[in-house]
Structure formats: C-alpha cells, structure tokens
C-alpha cells in the first residue's frame, strides 16, 4: 500500500506550479530612462522577476518630479508587499501613508447628494430598491459615510481589525514615496546614472542604438524602457510613435494643485467634488489634504479656476498648474523600446488609476517578457493587453462625465451631450436590460460584462450607474427581503458606531504597527497574499 500511496502522491504533485512563471529572456542589459515612481517600480519589479538582467536607471537630479498627493487602488498593496517583498512596517514608518477604502463622489445628482465607490462587494440592488440610493449597500460604504475604518474598539479598549478581509489602498505623499523607492533601488544593486540625456541615436532600422549626454557620449543597452513622463523622450519624440487622443471622451487638460491643513482629521477615502468646469480631488494625508482642480481650458482660464477654488475652499498660499493630455501611444513596445506610465499614456485621475496602470503595465512586461526583439508574438501580446486596459479606463471614466447631473454649467452640458463612451454604451444597455450587472437574477450566478477580464468589472459599473441614478428600467425584486436588508443596515450602523477613525489609529503609530499592521501583513489568509 505504501508503494501505491507513493505513486499517488507523485502523480498528483503539483508543486512545480509554484514557480514564478516568468519567462527567460536573452536580453542582458536594460536602460530605464527616468526615475520617479514609474522608473523605480519598474526597476524593482524587473529585479524580482528577471534577476539576471543588468538594470540601469538614467535620471537627472536637475529635472524635478511632479510631486502631488497620490491616491491609489488596491493593486498597490500586494504589489509592494507581496510581489516586491517590501517591508510594510518600514513603509509605514518612512512613507507615512494613510489608508483609503474608496472614493466619496460629490457627483451624479443635484443638491446635497453623494455616493461612494468602495473596494468591497455590495448589495447595490437591494440598497437602491429599498432606499433609492446605495449609501447602505455594504459596511465599508457606511464606514466611509461616517469617516470610520474597519477596526473596532470595545469598552475595554481591545481592538479587533477587519483589514484582512476588507481591501484598502494608500494615500501617499509622492515625495516620500520616491525617496523610499530610491533607497530600495540602491539596496537592490540597481545602478543609477545621474545625467540628463540630450540625444537618442537610432540605427538604420530605427532601433535605439545608444543614448548620450554632455558627460556620457555612448550609453548602450539591449533594450530601453521609457519612464520619462509626459516628455516621452524615446517612445514619442525619438521613435515618433503615433499618439491616440482621448479628447472626445475626456476634455479636461489642466490641474490646479494646492494643499490645505486638515488638523489631523484624516478621511479614509479620496473625495471627488464636482466643480463648474471639471472636478476637484481631495487626498487626505496625516496633517494636510492635497487638492487638485482638474478642469478644461476650453471652458475655464487658470485665473478663473483659481478664483473658483478660493471661493469654495478658502484662500490658498500657493498652487501649481499641471498641463496634460489624455490618450495613449499606439504602441507600448516599439522596436527595442518599452514605455511605462505617462511616457506611454495618461488618463485624467478621476478613478485614481495612475499607479494602478503603472503596476499593470509592469506586470504585463514581466509576464510576457520577449526573448529578443524578434519575439513578435510576445511583443504583440504586450501591446494588445496594455492598449485594451487603457481603452477600458477611457470608457469607464467617460461614463462618470456623461451621466453626472450635479451641475448645469456649460462644461457639464457639453459633457452630457458629447462625451463618447465607446464599449461602455453596450454595458449600460445590458445594465438596463438586466440590472444589476454583478449578479444575474437567477440566484448567485456571476454577472458578466465585456470588460470583466480587464480593469473595471461589473461591480464597478453597478456602483457608478446606481450611484449616478442612471437607472431607466424597472428593477427586479431583490432576493433579500426588506426586513433582512434593514437588519443588515442596523448591523452596519452598530459596527460603525464602534469603529475608530483613522486619526485615532495613527495617534499612536507604534501601537498601530504592533496591534494592527504586524498581524495584518503576517496573516497568510488575507486578501493581500491571495491577490
């Protein structure tokens, strides 16, 4: 019998599947043009996935990095601490992030109306059917409404954390993040060359042959990664890769950024506030909030934007203007060049997707790394996957603009009449044929949308469509009874009353690390490890 059991164990042993699955490559050297978030994360990920690569970052300390508050999505937490293996406790001590459980939208419907987009599954149909909105669709939704986090403190002072099962992301001060990642890049043995690249040299086949600067005449690599931001020095300027504009969907092109003190009242969400000619983000940090008014220069001057900001939020000490264009280049990999972040594409930051798209682009490269520039199938696959992800972002963000009924300014009238939403139009039709998208009307079968395998799934669309009250059909009778629904609401309220605020959590950072974060990141059954 022992012999039979040995053969059974051997036959069903799947331990070989535990390998990373990252393909080998014949590339030996890679040059990353540009540091910052995109460059540093790309370098650290390549070191992890392809440790034999010799990686060099070429950046200039003379070129400033756009340093605004960064709102992220849940992908960042497992990416940093599970895939890259960065110590979460050190991260909290040095970067000093705050926790984000979703977005509160001052959006969608006139008057004093808000809804939130959180990272937890919700019963949108029941909430909308019984109450006409989605504010009580889940416990995290109620927590956001009450500015609480999913950590409960009982009468004795004992704390119970639910962070292992309720996903969160980070609000980050970009300057802190870049300093921290720079240190990690250095300790990983990745070379950094501090010089400003002046010329990009192409061979007869339009491949990049080398880079040069005033003090380095011949910087050569097997392939190059463009992380030069909006300048897109290699992909856009040198290779002339065509740019596909998203302007017919997203007409905003400027952001006016500023900071305001928050007296350590730290919201557990990003605020999205409808303005006359666009919208304003509010990203809460430990002692201040970072704001940015995203507006369209076709409807509003910089002076008018500043006047509107100060009328709404009070006098500000200083501000910056950031110019941008929404769209993507036709190819992410062209010749022997790959691009990450703003060098490839940019989409205005309504759903906090900047670092998310960087992470997805990096992981696509790691998983489909070509053997060489002749590995056409891998390169084609990379380009298709990344382009499809960005185009789904475009459609989903467009839905926010097209159906925001909060204000009747000329800007918002234009958006409602003219915003192109691409494939999302079919998803909205499906929603109004058979709401909600995230569940069928036949028990617990999963819903489906054309974008389900990509970035924003059916639950995301349900949140935005119910949240903006874009419901034009008779809703089916919910599976949950009215009594059961309001019983859940009562539990949500009870638990929220017992929950703590984020300022209470960080009032004693040592305690927070010891009692909350060390157990959280040590738990092998948490969503962080599973992701």
The verdict on residue 355 lying in a domain is yes
Question: How many Cα atoms within 13 Å fall on the side-chain side of residue 13?
Answer: 9
Query: Could you give the angle at which helices 174-187 and 36-49 cross, rounded to 10 degrees?
Result: 30
Cα separation, 523 vs 88, in Å, equals: 13
Domain total of the chain: 1
Cis link prior to 436 (omega < 30° from 0)?
Answer: yes
Q: Which of 232, 193, 203 is nearest to 29 (CA)?
A: 193
End-to-end CA distance of the chain: 39
The verdict on residue 3 lying in a domain is no
Extended strands (E) in 463-525: none
Burial 177-194 (b: 16+ CB within 10 A, else e): bbebbbebbeebebebbe
Q: Are 406 and 109 in contact (CB under 8 A)?
A: yes
Q: Are 58 and 491 in contact (CB under 8 A)?
A: no
Angle, vertex CA 118, rays to CA 113 and CA 122, nearest 5? 95
Q: Which of 385, 340, 331, 332 is nearest to 358 (CA)?
A: 340
In 3-state terms, what secondary structure has residue 206? coil
The verdict on residue 227 lying in a domain is yes
Please give the pLDDT value at position 67.
59
The verdict on residue 44 lying in a domain is yes
The verdict on residue 495 lying in a domain is no
φ and ψ of 361, to 5 deg: -65, -45
Strand (E) or helix (H) holding 512: helix 509-512
CATH number at residue 56: 3.50.50.60
Cα separation, 228 vs 509, in Å, equals: 36
DSSP output for 315-360:
--S--EEEE---EEES-SEETTEEE-GGGTEE--STT--HHHHHHH
Q: Which of 336, 340, 302 is nearest to 322 (CA)?
A: 302
pLDDT digit string (tens) for the chain, length 531 residues: 777 887 778 788 776 665 557 888 999 999 999 999 999 999 999 999 999 999 999 999 887 776 566 899 999 999 999 999 999 999 999 999 999 999 999 999 999 999 999 999 899 999 999 999 999 999 999 999 999 999 998 888 788 999 999 999 999 999 999 999 999 999 999 999 999 999 999 999 999 999 999 888 899 999 999 999 999 999 999 999 999 999 999 999 999 999 999 999 999 999 999 999 999 999 999 999 999 999 999 999 999 999 999 999 999 999 999 999 999 999 999 999 999 999 999 999 999 888 999 999 999 999 999 999 999 999 999 999 999 999 999 999 999 999 999 999 999 999 999 999 998 999 999 999 989 998 754 333 455 554 444 457 889 999 999 999 999 999 999 999 999 999 999 999 999 999 999 999 999 999 999 999 999 999 999 999 854
User: How do strand 243-245 and strand 69-71 relate by DSSP bridges?
Assistant: unpaired
Q: Which of 259, 261, 265 is nearest to 148 (CA)?
A: 265
Query: Could you give the angle at which helices 376-402 and 410-418 cross, rounded to 10 degrees?
Result: 130
Q: Are 279 and 350 in contact (CB under 8 A)?
A: yes
The verdict on residue 61 lying in a domain is yes
Domain range for 75 is 27-96+172-249+326-393
Q: Which of 177, 176, 196, 181 is nearest to 63 (CA)?
A: 196
Take residue 359 and report the two structure tokens written for it. Answer: 């992470």
DSSP output for 355-424:
HHHHHHHHHHHHHT--SSTT-HHHHHHHHHHHHHHHHHHHHHHHHHHHT--S--SHHHHHHHHH---TTH
The verdict on residue 455 lying in a domain is no
Cα separation, 494 vs 139, in Å, equals: 10
Which residues have a Cβ under 8 Å from the Cβ of 141 and sit 6 or more positions away?
102, 116, 118, 120, 122, 134, 135
Please give the pLDDT value at position 16.
61
The verdict on residue 333 lying in a domain is yes
The neighbour count for residue 1, using CB atoms within 10 Å, is 5
Phi-psi map region of 479: left, alpha, beta (phi>0 left; psi -120 to 50 alpha): alpha
Residue 455 is given by DSSP the state: S
Take residue 132 and report the two structure tokens written for it. Answer: 């006409």
């Amino acid at each position: 019998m022992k012999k039979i059991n040995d053969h059974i164990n051997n036959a069903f042993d799947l331990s070989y599947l535990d390998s990373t699955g990252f393909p080998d490559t014949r590339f030996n050297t890679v040059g990353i043009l540009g540091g910052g978030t995109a460059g540093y994360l790309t370098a650290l990920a390549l070191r992890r996935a392809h440790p034999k690569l010799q990686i060099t970052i070429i950046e200039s300390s003379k070129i400033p990095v756009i340093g605004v508050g960064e709102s992220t999505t849940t992908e960042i937490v497992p990416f940093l601490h599970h895939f890259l293996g960065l110590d979460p406790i050190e991260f909290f001590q040095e970067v000093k992030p705050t926790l984000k459980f979703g977005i509160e939208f001052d959006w969608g419907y006139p008057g004093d109306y808000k809804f939130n987009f959180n990272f937890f599954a919700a019963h949108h149909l029941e909430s909308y059917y019984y109450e006409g909105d989605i504010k009580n669709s889940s416990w995290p939704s109620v927590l956001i409404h009450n500015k609480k986090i999913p950590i409960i403190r009982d009468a004795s002072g004992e704390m119970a954390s639910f962070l292992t099962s309720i996903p969160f992301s980070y609000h980050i001060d970009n300057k802190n993040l870049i300093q921290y990642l720079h240190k990690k890049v250095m300790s990983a043995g990745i070379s950094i060359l501090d010089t400003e690249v002046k010329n990009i040299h192409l061979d007869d086949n339009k491949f990049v042959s080398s880079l040069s600067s005033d003090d380095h005449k011949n910087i050569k690599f097997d392939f190059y990664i463009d992380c030069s931001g909006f300048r897109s020095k290699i992909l856009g300027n040198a290779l002339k890769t065509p740019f596909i504009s998203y302007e017919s969907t997203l007409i905003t092109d400027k952001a006016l950024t500023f900071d305001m003190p928050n007296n350590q009242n730290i919201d557990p969400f990003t605020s999205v506030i409808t303005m006359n000619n666009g919208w304003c983000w509010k990203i809460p940090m430990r002692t201040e909030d970072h704001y940015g008014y995203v507006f369209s220069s076709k409807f509003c001057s910089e002076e008018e934007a500043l006047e509107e900001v100060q009328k709404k939020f009070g006098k500000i000490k200083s501000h910056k203007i950031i110019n941008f264009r929404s769209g993507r280049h036709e190819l992410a990999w062209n010749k022997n060049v790959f691009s990450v972040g703003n060098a490839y594409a940019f989409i205005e930051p309504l759903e906090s997707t900047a670092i998310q798209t960087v992470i997805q682009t990096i992981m696509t490269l790691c998983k489909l790394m070509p053997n060489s520039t002749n590995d056409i199938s891998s390169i084609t696959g990379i380009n298709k996957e990344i382009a499809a992800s960005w185009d789904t972002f475009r459609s989903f963000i467009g839905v926010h603009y097209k159906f925001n009924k909060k204000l009747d300014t000329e800007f918002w009238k234009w958006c409602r009449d003219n915003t192109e939403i691409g494939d999302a139009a079919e998803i909205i039709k499906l929603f109004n044929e058979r709401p909600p998208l995230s569940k069928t009307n036949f028990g617990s079968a999963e819903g489906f949308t054309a974008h389900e395998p990509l970035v924003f799934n059916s639950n995301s669309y349900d949140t935005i469509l119910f949240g903006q009250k874009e419901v034009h059909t008779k809703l089916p009778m919910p599976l949950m009874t009215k009594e059961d629904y309001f019983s859940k609401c009562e539990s949500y309220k009870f638990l929220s009353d017992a929950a703590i605020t984020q300022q209470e959590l960080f009032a004693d950072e040592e305690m927070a690390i010891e009692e909350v974060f060390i157990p959280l990141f040590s738990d092998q059954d948490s969503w962080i490890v599973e992701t």
